Amino acid sequence: MEPFDELLRGVRADGAGVRRVELSGTRALPGMTMYAVVAGEVSVRDVTAGPGDVLVVQDSVAVHGNASVVSGTYDVLGSVARRLTGVLPDAVVAPGTDGCAEFYGSLGTDESSVVADRLLDWIMVCALREWFDREHDSGWLAALADEVAGPVLRAMHDDPARAWTLASLAREAGVARTTLAGRFCRLVGTPPLTYLTEWRMALAADLLAESPATVASVARQVGYADAFGFSAAFKRVHGVSPSECRTRCAASA
């Protein structure tokens, strides 16, 4: 699975339904919010979306406009998906194509809530995917497209439980260890093995929240033979133990 696809995994509407909104003035909503523009314009700072475009804004970012839109607000679920908010800017516009505005305008409230949610999910994912394909010139996105860092990121995401070393990761990229370390750190902002640990802990947090697997089982799934070593790494990254993480997730469910 592509790393960016994994980030989209937990971006799901849940009971929001298709909401046709007549937007006037300024509005800020909690959570990640999507506006599929039917008519008029919606703007955030220096970003503007017109008919057929999709605007996605981060948590509580104010939008301005006089427009008819189909809107949905999202909770970004899970540690893996929450990494998406670190990749995205405050506002993303995915340009529409012929017929998009008409299609958005045809969405009504007759669909069941499940069907409506999935329609919103489809629009949201298509918009973020289009933005990702278009905007990958800096940060994590640049690393994913890079000929050295990209293969290493994909290898870690494809098989996080493998006993990766800097040498084995460098072989995935076909470069020396020093070349990989310098290039990866410059593009991603952390050394390769630090990124691997953080990725494993994000996966582990989701496994603890979503499954009844024991801590030892989760540890093995993310590459730790020793549950104690896993627990220490988990607490170092998340600030709580695996058991505390599971308890908090259960309490907030």
Residue 8, amino acid? L
Name the burial class of residue 103, with classes exposed (0-12), middle (13-18) and buried (19+) by CB atoms within 10 angstroms of its CB. middle
Query: The pTM is what?
Result: 0.69
User: What would the two tokens of residue 54 be?
Assistant: 């999709």
Domain ranges for the chain, please list them: 3-134, 143-252
One CATH from 2.60.120, 2.40.50, 3.90.550, 1.10.3470 for 3-134? 2.60.120
- Residue owning tokens 């970004």: 76
| Helix%, strand%, coil% for the chain, nearest 5 | 50, 20, 30
User: What would the two tokens of residue 81 be?
Assistant: 């998906």
The candidate with the shortest Cα–Cα distance to 200, out of 221, 176, 229, is 221
pLDDT over threshold 60, residue 109? no
Q: 3-134 with 143-252: one CATH topology?
A: no
Asked if CATH classification 2.40.50.140 holds for the domain at 143-252, the reply, yes or no, is no
- Give tens-digit pLDDT for 47-65: 899 999 999 998 788 899 8
pLDDT over threshold 60, residue 9? yes
Residue 192, amino acid? P
- Give tens-digit pLDDT for 160-189: 999 999 999 999 999 999 999 999 999 888
- Give tens-digit pLDDT for 178-225: 999 999 999 888 999 999 999 999 889 889 888 888 999 999 999 999
Q: What is the DSSP letter of 253?
A: -
Most confidently modeled range among 33-37, 83-87, 111-115: 33-37
